């Protein structure tokens, strides 16, 4: 049976997809993603390593400090 998927490969594909979706839905919050999946956080982290899933949150572009100060000043003056 060379052409088909073995059960283990199918489970890996489904698990990886579900983990990626749970992380996306929770903004990469691993504790919340584990709760969604019904597994312990340590199990999630082990599977993330096994499937090479990056669990970092997407980075936001930082606001320039001078721009942030100017915005705070205008809000105080109002």
Give domain status of residue 38, yes or no: yes
Residue 78 resides in a domain:
no
State the pLDDT at residue 55. Answer: 80
- Residue 56's pLDDT is 78
pTM (predicted TM-score): 0.67
Q: Is residue 20 part of a domain?
A: yes
Instruction: Indicate whether 62 belongs to any domain.
Output: no
The CATH number of the domain where 28 resides is what? 1.10.10.60
Tell me the per-residue pLDDT of 1-44, one tens digit each, with 9 for 90 and over.
556 679 999 999 999 999 999 999 999 999 999 999 999 999 99
Residue 76 domain flag: no
Number of domains in the chain: 1
Query: What tokens does 15 get?
Result: 């698990």
Condensed to tens digits (0 to 9), the pLDDT of residues 51-70 reads: 999 987 766 666 666 666 66
* Dihedral (CA of 28, 29, 32, 33) sign: positive
30 is in which domain, residue-wise? 1-57
């Amino acid at each position: 049976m060379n052409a088909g998927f073995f059960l283990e490969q199918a489970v890996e594909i489904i698990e990886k997809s579900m983990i990626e979706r749970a992380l996306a839905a929770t903004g990469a919050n691993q504790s919340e993603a584990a709760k969604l999946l019904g597994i312990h956080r340590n199990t999630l982290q082990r599977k993330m390593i096994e499937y090479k899933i990056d669990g970092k949150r997407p980075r936001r572009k930082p606001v320039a400090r001078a721009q942030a100060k100017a915005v705070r000043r205008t809000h105080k003056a109002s």
